[in-house]
Structures are given as C-alpha cells and as structure tokens.
Amino acid sequence: MNSSFRRLFALLVVGIGTYVAVSGLRMWREGKSWAGLFSDSPIHQPEKFTLPEKAPLELGAMDSLSRLNEEYARLTQAVVPSVVSIDTAGVREQLLRDPWGRARMQREMTQGQGSGVIVTEEGHVITNQHVISGQNQIQVTLHDGKSYQATMIGEDRMLDIAVLKIDASGPFTPLKLGDSSQVKVGQIVFAVGNPFGLSETVTQGIISAKERSISDQQRDLFQTDAAINPGNSGGPLVNLQGEIVGINVAIYSPDKTNPGFQGVGFSIPSNDVRESLKQILEKGRPIHGFLGVRVHPIDERLKQSVGFDQNQGTLVVDVVKESPADQAGLQRGDVILEYNHKTVQSPIQLISMVQRTPVGQEIPLKVWRDGQIMSMTTSVVENRSLSQSAEQQSTTTLQLIRQYGMVVRSFTAMEVARGLSGVVVTDVDPQGLASSSVEMNDVIIAVNQRQVTDAEDFYQQFIHSITRQPTTLTLIRNRQAIVVTLPPSEPDPIDDK
C-alpha cells in the first residue's frame, strides 16, 4: 500500500509540475504575468504607441483655403446675431359631428417652431406666414439667449411672409436685404436657422436654380442645396457679404410622413420680400396686382380644339366681370401672348407678372383670338378694390357650401413642397347634397377632370360647373383615386325674392 501510494503521489506531482511548466511557458510567450494563471480576467499590458505631432500640411502651404476658412467663420459671426428662433402657441378649433349629425367645436392647444431674421434696427422680424399662422402667442429668442414676446404687424399669404415686431426697446442688429436680381446659379450661399429646434445652425451650399415654382402662389423661388430642415422656415439665405438674398420657405422630400432634407430647398427672393415688407410697414397690408382672368396652360389638345399653332401663351378660361381684363375686352378663349412686352410662357409666369405690376399702371397686351393677333391695353388694380365683386362671389360660395355641405382648405406651402396637391375636405354636412359621395379628409384633385390648385380655384371651378350641370370630382381616399358625380345645384329658397 505504501508503495502504491508513493507511486500515485509521484505521478500527481509530475502532472502538476508539467501543467505549471507548460502554462508558464505559454504565458511567457504571450507576455503575461503569473497572476493571470489564477484569474479569469485577462491582464492588460500597455501598448506602445506614437501620435503624430504635425498636420499633413501647414496652413501657409494652403494659403487660399486658410483665408477662405477664416472668411467663412467671420461671415457666420456677422450673420448669426441677427437670426432669431421663433416659438408659437395657440388654440385650434375643429368642427366635429356626433353620430346624430350634431355639430360641436373641439379645441386643442398647438405649438410651433421656426426661424426669423431681424431686418430693422427697431426690431422688425421677417419669417414665414405658415410659421405663425393661427398662433396667438409668439416668442422670439435672440442670439444672446434673451426671449421677448412679439406682435404680428402684417402678413402676405400669397408670398408666405409675415412681419413681426419684437416687444422690446432696441436698437437691434439687423441684416441688409440684398438684391436678388443679381443672384446667379452656382453662387455660394449660407442657410441660417434653427432646424429641429437646434439654435444657430449654419449650412453652406449654392444656388442650384432660379425661378422654381412649387404652387401657383409660391413662384419664382430660388432652389438651393444648402441643407434646410424643419425649423429652418423663415430663416435667411445669405450671400458671401452677409446680405439676405432669400427667406427659406420649403423643402422637397419624397417621405411625406417624416420629411427631411434631400438636397432640394426653396427660398423666396429678397426683392419680393423687400417689396412686401415695405407695403406692410407703410400701409399695413401687402398690395398685389389683379387683372381678373383665370388662365390655363396650352397643351396639344387645347391647341387643336381652338386652332392655335404657336408655342407660347396661356389660355383665358374665365374673365371676372367689371375687372380690368373685362374692361380691356379680354374674352374667354383668348390666348394671351405678351404682357407688358414680355412673352408669356405659362399661367404661373403671367400671374407672377400681374402681381408684381404697380397698381394703376397701363399694360400693353398681345392677344390671339380666332386666328387674329390683337393689341390691347389694360391696367391692374389691387385685389381689395374689387370687394363688391368678391362679396358677391363669397355669397354664392356660401350658398353652395350650405347646399352641398362641403368645406375645403388649401394645402400649406410645406405640404405642397412634400408633393401634395389639390384641396382637403375639412367638413361634410350629413344633410348636404355631397354627404353621400364625399367624406372628411378626402383630397379633391380635379373638377370635371381639370386639376385643382387651391381652395379658391376649387370653388371657382365648382361654382361655374355645379350651377349648370352634374359635376364630377376626382378624389384621393385611402390612397385610392375615385370619381364621384354631384347633381346640379338647387335654387336657394332664401334668395328667392
């Protein structure tokens, strides 16, 4: 027994010794200490490293880029103090109906955020109208972090511009409105604003294109690839001198649910902004020229139907009674070829020229009618000077809304930039003639297969048609296109006298 025990003990000692020797040799090769033999955690051994102390290039060797780098920084420091963050709050009322058709108003708090830029020493701020639309509380936060309440002085819905006044004593640091007519494609620009609520963000790009249009109202915009995101609306687009050449207004994004910058942003040219600003400050309202025609693009089908063979002009589809166009002799079916000696290429271009024409100025027209070229002279008036005609149209519109029980709204500039078009149905009366065909939140894109651009255009087309004939509406409902037909309007007993 003693002999067997001694042999077993000897084998055990040899085995342990062999294990220790092999493990020690392995740890020696791996550079580990003996403590690692009895620990589950590896022991870190410092790595040898050498960090470079010199940049690949000296600034002196890149003199031009070095100066450009400093100039960009100086430009940013000069511009940012004039850019403000705008926070808004308000109460939105929405008409709802219970299962029995009874109407009730629902109120909900709304909040918004955008950007703006100070343009006068007295503290006038330019921003987008859609930033403050429907909001009754406006707070402006300056570069130094101080916040003040602001009052809206006026707005230009057609241009999507609003003018605010900071409720504090100045002087403030304004930016100059530059001359947007001198802007060139390829010119370097900087967009400044507060995207996603992040303050004082500066992005750089170029003017990608000019005279872009995203709706009948938003026309002749600058397109830029300087990054613009939600929250940048109302902020300035500046040139290398720090002058405002545009007010950022919209972006294009194929993602309708979560819009983000895709390299295509739009800005309102500063010359348009300056004119609207002066009118609002001096007269309390923007002034736009009004001719009194509704026009339509000329396509091949229309050319064949009217016998027109030129590659310019826009077709007159309606003339407002007692308007300048009516007094000049324009008729439905005419083709306007020239306006104030400038060739007319599209309805949007004509509308833009009319709106920019000073009120009362005589304008020569060249018109095609039944194969003959005619010369006419007209003028433009301010929209509000046709209040009586507008009141009559408004009365007719209200009568038809009452009969059909259908209320619509235009898409906002931001919604249009996301690719939406037509009008949205915001209310349908269960007792109205449209209740069996139209539903709330339907998007109406055409009347009698003619495209609808906004609420005013829809009502004009709808009234013109529904008082004479059954009218078809092309709708988008649950992402599906459907066509419904509404019967002609019935005489309103309230108006029978």
Catalytic residues: 130, 160, 233
Cβ-contact 82, 123 below 8 angstroms: no
Residue in the block written with tokens 């050319």: 303
Tokens standing for residue 279: 């009118």
Q: How far apart (Å, rounded) are the C-alpha atoms in residues 338 and 12?
A: 111
Amino acid identity for residue 425 in this structure:
V
Angle between the 387-404 and 455-466 helix axes, to the nearest 10 degrees? 70
CA-CA-CA-CA torsion sign (199, 204, 209, 211): positive
Written as one string, the DSSP assignment of 443-467 is: EEEEETTEE--SHHHHHHHHHHHHT
Query: 441: closest CA among 107, 94, 108, 110?
Result: 94
Amino acid identity for residue 455 in this structure:
A
Q: How far apart (Å, rounded) are the C-alpha atoms in residues 218 and 267?
A: 10
Query: 267: closest CA among 434, 117, 371?
Result: 117
Q: How far apart (Å, rounded) are the C-alpha atoms in residues 8 and 14?
A: 10
Q: How far apart (Å, rounded) are the C-alpha atoms in residues 380 and 292?
A: 8
**How many C-beta atoms surround the C-beta of residue 243 within 10 A?**
18
CA 167 to chain centroid, in Å, comes to 27
Cβ-contact 382, 288 below 8 angstroms: yes
Cβ-contact 48, 31 below 8 angstroms: no
Cis omega (within 30 of 0) for bond into 230: no
> What is residue 332's three-state secondary structure?
coil
Cross-strand pairs, 368: 335, 373
